[in-house]
Copies of this chain bind each other. A is one copy, B any other.
Amino acid sequence: MVKTKIKDPELISKRQRQICAGAMNVFKNKGFHATSIREIAKASRISLGSLYDYIEKKEDILFLVHKQILHDLYAVLDESIKKYDDPVAQLIHAARELFYSSMPLKDEVLFIYTETKSLERKYLHEVLQRESEFVGRFEALIRDGLAKGVFSCPNPEIAANLVAYLLAVVPLRGWNILPRHSQEDLLEHLLGLVLHCVGVSPEAAGEAREGWQ
């Protein structure tokens, strides 16, 4: 997807990961626009010339970073879903995992939300596609719960979007909540909303929680 001057595919992906890691470190502090290519090269421990052997334009780096962050989030989500069979347990568990993952990934998630519009059309499409697939994971989970009769909600797609959105509250609004409230209190509130979203009966929810708490 990103055009390079190098042939060896292994080298390409190794160096691109290197660039990603370096770039993310500087993006956190200064954002995409305010960071110069020189700084990215230095942070990646790659020379300016070599950097341009592995990308074409500065924007390519933004895309690589985006891809990497979404990849990490997917990993968290898939990992936690596959640990349970029961949709209610899956949902609660996944929500909890994502919530706690979004603490260290706070900057990255915020980055996704804030710098997506800087991507050019070519990449924007693919990134939004991926983000939408992320929501798709939740939608599948919800549909599964509906089929099994443990969820009840009229519109699984809207519900999935809202669940995914709710779980991003820490990166986006954490600054106004977490200084004065515990993570646990916030998570409790969020889980309540998430379960309400998919229409779990309180009893079912209680059971599922007991099972693993």
Contacts and interface: CB of A to CB of B under 8 A. Distances in A.
Contact of A185 (B135, B155, B173, B192): B155
How many identical subunits does the complex contain? 4
Interface stretch (A8-16, A87-95, A158-166): A158-166
Interface in A61-94: none
A193 B197 CA distance: 7
A164 B190 CA distance: 14
Nearest to A116: B114
Nearest to A115: B114
A3 interface: no
B161 A165 contact: no
A131 B158 CA distance: 27
Interface in A128-149: 128, 131-132, 135
A31 to B, nearest CB: 6
A154 B189 CA distance: 9
A122 interface: no
How would you classify the secondary structure of chain A's contact residues: helix, strand, loop or mixed?
helix
Chain A, interface residues (CB within 8 Å), range: 35 or more
A207 to B, nearest CB: 20
B189 A118 contact: no
Nearest to A155: B185
Top 9 A-B pairs ranked by shortest CB distance? A33-B33, A114-B114, A196-B196, A161-B177, A158-B189, A165-B173, A132-B176, A193-B193, A165-B169
A169 B161 CA distance: 9
A1 interface: no
A105 interface: no
Nearest to A33: B33
A180 interface: yes
